[in-house]
């Protein structure tokens, strides 16, 4: 009977260590996922700010150009 109990105990410890390892790896993977998502959000915010600034600059540059009359076309 001691042999069966020892095997059961060894199997239980092995399962416990496996679950413990999976939990640690899962926590690490979650942390990596969250860090990557935060980095992506920060990059998106930075790129959006740059795009908005460029559009504003282009709009101001376009406003400084003379406007052609809509009906003025050259005829041959």
Which pLDDT belongs to residue 17?
Answer: 97
User: Is residue 66 a part of any domain in this protein?
Assistant: no
User: Is residue 72 a part of any domain in this protein?
Assistant: no
Q: d(Cα 45, Cα 37) in Å, to the nearest integer?
A: 12
Q: Structural domain of residue 4, as residue ranges?
A: 1-59
User: Which letter does DSSP use for residue 74 in this model?
Assistant: -
- Band (65; pLDDT cuts 50, 70, 90): confident
Q: d(Cα 41, Cα 64) in Å, to the nearest integer?
A: 35
Letter string b/e over residues 5-17, b meaning 16 or more CB atoms within 10 A of that residue's CB: eeeeeeeeeeeee
User: Is residue 68 a part of any domain in this protein?
Assistant: no
Nearest to 29 by CA among 18, 40, 17, 21: 21
User: Is residue 25 a part of any domain in this protein?
Assistant: yes
If one counts the domains in the chain, the total is 1
Q: For 4-24, what is each residue's pLDDT tens digit? A: 899 999 999 999 999 999 999
Give percent above pLDDT 70 in the chain: 87
> pTM to 2 decimals?
0.56
């Amino acid at each position: 009977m001691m042999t069966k109990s020892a095997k059961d105990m060894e199997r239980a410890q092995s399962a416990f260590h496996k679950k413990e390892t999976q939990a640690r790896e899962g926590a690490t993977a979650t942390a990596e996922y969250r860090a990557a998502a935060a980095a992506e959000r920060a990059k998106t915010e930075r790129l959006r700010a740059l795009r908005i600034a460029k559009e504003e600059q282009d709009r101001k540059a376009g406003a400084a150009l003379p406007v052609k009359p809509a009906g003025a076309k050259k005829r041959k």
